Structure 1
């Protein structure tokens, strides 16, 4: 029996990203009037932000393809991807304030990745 390994979708295979929803998730933690989430809400939100990042990272990488190696927006976007990957590898702290700070860092990465998707999408048109 043969085994098939699913490949991640690329280019035309990929579903469109809902950047508005992704930014909305980030706002829940980053808005000036954001309320402190409960532990359960924070866990759900952290997982949601991680999921957004897992979709955004390859989208940003795809958007940089075809740009010259010395392109400044490409370099900035790929640096953001590197930071996002690093943050995805980190665990939240054990206390609520540490877990909130971790989730806020994820939220900032989501916002930055959304910015790069929007900016680089225009570069290919």
Structure 2
């Protein structure tokens, strides 16, 4: 796996630093790998907080990269759809049962992975 070298997009007057997609993908893999072990209650809570943070951090980066592409561009549309789905997942509250909490965490992990993919793909396609 390679480290993203995409230059950071600008947000207003502040420059954002590049995302650490390797670390973000590693966090997501804790729940998505075929051989993933079931986390403890406390570990699951921590992982959900970490994944939520990754999603909240990645969204502005992917939005900024997508905004540089023309309207109607397919990679732009895919990225914006991924952002919309990630925002929806951030707004969901799982039931208290462990299976529901794990399913919620896995959905967040899939959003993290998708946002990392969009970040890398849009960064590589920049002019």
The residue that corresponds to 2:28 in the other structure is 26
Superposition deviation, residue 15 in structure 1: 1.5
- Unmatched tracts of structure 1, length 5 or more: 1-8
Instruction: Work out whether 1:55 is the aligned partner of 2:57.
Output: yes
Tell me which moved more, 13-22 or 42-51. 13-22
Distance in 1, matches of 2:94 and 2:40, equals: 15
CA-based RMSD of the aligned residues comes to: 1.3
Q: TM-score, normalised on structure 1?
A: 0.90
Aligned partner (choices 111, 115, 122) of residue 124 of structure 2: 122
Q: TM-score, normalised on structure 2?
A: 0.88
Distance in 2, matches of 1:13 and 1:47, equals: 25
- Which is greater in Rg? 1
Superposition deviation, residue 92 in structure 1: 2.1
- Tell whether the 8 Å contact from 1:93 to 1:102 is kept in structure 2 after alignment: no
- Tell whether the 8 Å contact from 1:28 to 1:34 is kept in structure 2 after alignment: yes
Distance in 1, matches of 2:111 and 2:36, equals: 18
- Unmatched tracts of structure 2, length 5 or more: 1-9
